[in-house]
Amino acid sequence: MPEAEQDGAGAVRTFGARLRAAMAHFGPVCVGIDPHPGLLESWGLPVDAEGLEQFAEICVEAFDGCVALVKPQVAFFETYGSAGIAVLERTIEVLRGSGTLVLADAKRGDIGSTMDAYAHAWLGDGPLGSDAVTASPYLGFGSLAPALALAEANRRGVFVLAATSNPEGAQLQRVVTGDGRSIAQTMVDEAAARNAGAAFGSVGVVIGATLAEAPDLSALNGPILMPGVGAQGGGPDNIRDLVPQSMLAAAVPTVSREVLRDGPDVTALRARVSELQETFAFLQK
């Protein structure tokens, strides 16, 4: 286990503690590994499992040890079946082995034993085991209990979808329930309850950076993953508008295409990451 995962007494630190330390050191930017077929083509790679592997290897070389959090988009690996999953396993293994935090963007959500199986796949010690996973709570927040319990036991993290930026999300997420809260706000509040008492919690939420307004995040005490930055139009001003001043240091802007379009040159990828880290450095001040 990398030393960075342990405290001075040798105990494994929580995901929240490790993420906060990584953000303070590298800056808050999360970089996505999204091997979209169009990107493979633009990088001059074949749109097959071999091209996927080359793409992932370049991303690992560019981002490993340089960013706070790396987020492989699981769907683009699943496309290639077992060969794609094997590439994902190697990508996770190399990144985590060197101490780089990995967030598997799998958006899993189910009930009972099925959710428990998903939890063990992404938060256990198997080949896909990551530092954190994205999860959908829209079978009810309580359906995520197996993932939340295993994450706590294994000192991992869960990022819960709360208010996403896709237009269709509003149909459900903005509905106001009988207690006067939107469903998105309920998800944020449920996450906050799991983080209560921690120095910085390990249950984060996903809030789209291009939203016109966000739920109240002031009591979350955990990380706020914010996709939609860069190529999708979100930027520093959007984050300032959506996140209260007291929680800015918890914001984790996530970029994918904004960085990956500069590939496959590793130097160019690193340079673009460095620019974005400078752009969002204000979040950690």
Catalytic residues, which ones? Answer: 107
Residue 41, SS3?
A: helix
For residues 150 and 123, is the Cβ–Cβ distance under 8 A?
yes
Listed residue (179, 190, 183, 202) closest to 101, CA to CA: 202
DSSP string, 128-143: T--SEEEE--TT-GGG
Contacts within 8 Å (CB) and 24+ apart, 74-77: 74/104, 74/105, 74/106, 74/107, 76/34, 76/35, 76/36, 76/52, 77/35, 77/52
Q: How far is CA 134 from CA 36, 173, 240, 265, in A?
A: 19, 17, 23, 29
Distance between CA atoms of residues 245 and 242, nearest Å: 9
